[in-house]
């Protein structure tokens, strides 16, 4: 019923104005799915390979499309993804590009759902998720690789942990973003926005902590539920010759652990992503041992949605949560496997966007389908609200 008739690939624009791969999958029974690959700026060293778009499309047309058309069923996600892996033949999708692979993988899932007449989150397994929805982590202030001359820490994330519904949570994050805009204006601090729509003022990290703390408190008072905040420190980007370099601050590994543990205490942080380098399993484990009962220590560049790297982390208790980015690993099946392994081992999952995004909403469905406790997909901006609004629609439809 869901046999793939045609796979079309094209280059479209992403939110940074770069080209990215879009895939259309059509089935013989008339099912249709369309999806586009996102793209990172602070990419982990161990991620699957994103090829230049024209190369990725040409290679996928040559190697993957003929193996899919007329042969594979869109409703059988494992078969689609195994076919992509076999067509590529490498461990990191360097032959057809993880950008082509993930676009086809996600488009096939939508075509499968379309034939079945089910919303994507249900096709992906969401019928058993219960009534839960992920808490959205909203990037409200940032810099690092996502904006020039802004904070050294890549992302300050609003975390509406007490929100009674996903809709309230989404709206609360947008209000925190707005409140920060007003505070910056009052202070006469000009601020552009970074790649993910977060404010990118030229202020120190210390000032950003005060600003975000004030904003979340103000909005929490207003809305009447608890809002905390968290960080993506993207530490692999700042790790040079054994030291962490954040603006003028240079820290050894021990000093970085002390610094982050101190921040968790001082600001009651709900979440800290990539506080240490992408190879620093032991240092991650030290930090998790110190503050893992108070906050989430999340591995992004550390794990790159890869079950082998996650297993290595589980073995040493490196963290207590994992970021899930389908394009880091190349297929939805691989992302599911990482989610399953994480969940079985008590790790919280955080399904995530990339800094370069499109209107694609697959990650909203993936988060709901897998009962992920968190989703990180910005706070404002069209390519971010595409996912946030989809979450609101799913909640509306599912109730
Ligand atoms: O580091 C991250 O978590 C992501 C998304 O916020 O950024 P990028 O897509 O640039 O890797
Ligand atoms: Mg990250």
Question: Which residues are registered as beta bridge partners of 213?
Answer: none
Q: Is 167 a catalytic residue?
A: no
Last residue of a domain, one of 80, 98, 117: 117
* 249 and 184 both lie in a single domain: yes
154 marked as binding residue:
yes
Last residue of a domain, one of 117, 144, 162: 117
**pLDDT tens string 228-243:** 999 999 999 999 999 9
User: At residue 126, does pLDDT exceed 90?
Assistant: no
Chain mean pLDDT for the chain: 97
Confidence of residue 34 (pLDDT cuts 50, 70, 90): very high
Nearest to 140, CA basis, from 189, 63, 198: 198
* 73 and 41 both lie in a single domain: yes
Confidence of residue 326 (pLDDT cuts 50, 70, 90): very high
**pLDDT tens string 279-303:** 999 999 999 999 999 999 999 999 9
Domain that includes residue 66, residue range = 4-117
- What's the predicted TM-score (pTM) here? 0.98
Nearest to 347, CA basis, from 302, 388, 391: 302
User: At residue 398, does pLDDT exceed 90?
Assistant: no
Distance 388 CA to ligand 2 centre (A): 19
Last residue of a domain, one of 77, 92, 117: 117
* 74 and 203 both lie in a single domain: no
Task: CATH number of the domain at 393, please.
Answer: 3.20.20.120
232 marked as binding residue:
yes
**pLDDT tens string 64-75:** 999 999 999 999
Count CB atoms within 10 A of the CB of residue 149.
9
Confidence of residue 43 (pLDDT cuts 50, 70, 90): very high
* 377 and 295 both lie in a single domain: yes
Confidence of residue 128 (pLDDT cuts 50, 70, 90): confident
Tell which atom from ligand 1 comes closest to the C-alpha of 44: 11
* 197 and 136 both lie in a single domain: yes
Taking CA 175 as the corner, what is the angle to CA 169 and CA 179, rounded to the nearest 5 degrees?
Answer: 145
The first and second tokens of residue 196, run together, are 């993910």
* 108 and 188 both lie in a single domain: no
**pLDDT tens string 162-199:** 999 999 999 999 999 999 999 999 999 999 999 999 99
Catalytic residue chosen out of the listed positions 325, 383, 387, 390: 325
**Predicted local confidence at residue 249, as pLDDT:** 86
Task: CATH number of the domain at 25, please.
Answer: 3.30.390.10
* 79 and 131 both lie in a single domain: no
* 155 and 8 both lie in a single domain: no
110 marked as binding residue:
no
- Contact indicator for 118, 124 with CB cutoff of 8 Å: no
* 211 and 257 both lie in a single domain: yes
- Contact indicator for 374, 349 with CB cutoff of 8 Å: yes
* 15 and 103 both lie in a single domain: yes
The ipTM, to two decimals, is 0.99
Q: Is 193 a catalytic residue?
A: no
User: At residue 397, does pLDDT exceed 90?
Assistant: no
* 360 and 284 both lie in a single domain: yes
* 147 and 201 both lie in a single domain: yes
Please give the tally of structural domains in the chain.
Answer: 2
Q: How far is CA 62 from the centre of its chain?
A: 30
Neighbouring residues of 210: CB distance < 8 A, sequence distance ≥ 6: none
């Amino acid at each position: 019923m869901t046999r793939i008739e045609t796979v079309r690939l094209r280059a479209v624009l992403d939110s940074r104005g770069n080209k990215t791969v879009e895939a259309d999958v059509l089935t013989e029974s008339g099912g249709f799915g369309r999806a586009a690959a996102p793209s990172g700026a602070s990419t982990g060293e161990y991620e699957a390979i994103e090829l230049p778009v024209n190369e990725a499309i040409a290679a996928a047309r040559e190697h993957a499309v003929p193996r899919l058309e007329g042969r594979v069923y869109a409703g059988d996600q494992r078969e689609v993804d195994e076919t992509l892996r076999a067509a590529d033949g490498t461990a990191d999708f360097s032959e057809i590009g993880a950008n082509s692979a993930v676009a086809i993988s996600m488009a096939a899932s939508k075509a499968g759902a379309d034939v079945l007449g089910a919303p994507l989150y249900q096709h992906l397994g969401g019928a058993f998720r219960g009534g839960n929805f992920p808490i959205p982590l909203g990037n409200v202030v940032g810099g690092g690789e996502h904006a020039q001359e802004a904070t050294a820490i890549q992302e300050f994330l609003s975390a509406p942990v007490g929100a009674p519904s996903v809709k309230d949570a989404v709206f609360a994050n947008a209000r925190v973003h707005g409140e920060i805009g007003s505070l910056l204006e009052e202070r006469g601090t000009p601020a552009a926005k970074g790649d993910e729509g977060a404010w990118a003022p030229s202020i120190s990290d210390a000032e950003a902590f005060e600003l975000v703390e004030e904003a979340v408190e103000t909005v929490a008072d207003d809305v009447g539920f608890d809002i905390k905040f968290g960080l993506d420190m993207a530490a692999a980007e700042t790790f040079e010759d054994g030291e962490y370099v954040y603006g003028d601050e240079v820290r050894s590994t021990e000093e970085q652990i002390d610094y982050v543990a101190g921040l968790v205490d001082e600001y009651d942080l709900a979440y800290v992503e990539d506080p240490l380098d992408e190879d620093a399993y032991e240092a991650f484990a030290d930090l998790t041992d110190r503050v893992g009962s108070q906050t989430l220590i999340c591995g992004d560049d550390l794990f790159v949605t890869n079950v082998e790297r996650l297993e290595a982390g589980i073995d040493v208790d490196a963290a207590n949560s994992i970021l899930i980015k389908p394009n880091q690993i190349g297929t939805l099946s691989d992302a599911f496997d990482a989610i399953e392994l994480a969940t079985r081992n008590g790790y919280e999952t955080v399904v995530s966007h990339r800094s370069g995004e499109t209107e694609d909403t697959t990650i909203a469905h993936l988060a709901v389908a897998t009962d992920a406790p968190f989703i990180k997909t910005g706070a404002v901006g069209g390519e971010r609200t595409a996912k946030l609004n989809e979450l609101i629609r799913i909640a509306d439809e599912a109730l």
